[in-house]
A and B are shown apart, each in its own frame.
Chain A
Amino acid sequence: GDSVTQMEGPVTLSEEAFLTINCTYTATGYPSLFWYVQYPGEGLQLLLKATKADDKGSNKGFEATYRKETTSFHLEKGSVQVSDSAVYFCALRPNAGGTSYGKLTFGQGTILTVHP
């Protein structure tokens, strides 16, 4: 079955440091890939997405590129801020529709803490 593996956390960085959170996946076909963020005490928010190979999703300074050859979707940000402290989830969803409609498969989440 489909699966998503994220780098183990937690990750602790100083403000303005470079961030990478690794995400690799296993899926049949060509899924859509997502990064969701969960700020303390809040629900999930979509951060960015990519729906086909070589697409780059970007939002709020975060980027991730859909790499089919390495089955990866690593999240990067050039300069993190204290306000980026949150839990980040990588997820995939088959594009085929049908019985896979709405069925996101999530990674285990990575806790990011950014210090001033």
Chain B
Amino acid sequence: SAVISQKPSRDICQRGTSLTIQCQVDSQVTMMFWYRQQPGQSLTLIATANQGSEATYESGFVIDKFPISRPNLTFSTLTVSNMSPEDSSIYLCSVGGGGTETQYFGPGTRLLVL
């Protein structure tokens, strides 16, 4: 299994600012994923982050709003840019998920935008 940590665990931010969320995994993984869980809603995949290449974004998510870095095989960051209250969500990092493989999630970053 993979152990995933995220920083910060929670934050309260002002609209118009940006927040960078860090995800650290205890083993090397090829692909990392970022999900969003809006209040009272289910999880939605934002993007897939591969080491050494640009992230692949799902429909409805764009790089200018959610830039992602993947500098090595154990670390990734997601930035939420120019935040608005609609960005208030839990953001989760995830690894694994090929074929029948188990997918693991980090503890999440709880973001509140005022």
| Chain A residues engaging chain B, CB cutoff 8 angstroms | 32, 34, 36, 42-46, 49, 51, 89, 93, 95, 97, 101-104, 106-109
Contact = CB atoms under 8 A, between A and B. Distances in A.
A110 to B, nearest CB: 10
The main secondary structure of chain A at its interface with chain B is: loop
Nearest to A111: B40
Contacts of A107: 42
A104 B43 CA distance: 9
B105 interface: yes
B103 A104 contact: yes
Interface of B: 31, 33, 41-45, 48, 92, 94, 96-100, 102-108
A99 to B, nearest CB: 9
A43 B43 CA distance: 11
Contacts of A36: 105
> Which one of B42, B45, B92, B107 has the highest number of Cβ atoms from chain A below 10 Å of its Cβ?
B42
A102 B103 contact: yes
Contact of B106 (A32, A43, A108): A43
A106 B97 contact: no
Contacts of A102: 31, 33, 45, 48, 94, 96-98, 103
B96 to A, nearest CB: 7
B99 A106 contact: no
Nearest to A49: B102
B100 A51 contact: yes
Given A102-B103, A109-B42, 18 more contacts: A34-B103, A36-B105, A42-B107, A43-B107, A45-B105, A46-B103, A51-B100, A89-B42, A93-B97, A95-B100, A102-B33, A102-B48, A102-B94, A102-B96, A102-B98, A103-B33, A104-B43, A104-B94
- A-B pairs, 10 with minimum CB distance: A102-B97, A43-B107, A51-B100, A44-B105, A106-B42, A43-B108, A106-B43, A108-B42, A102-B33, A43-B105
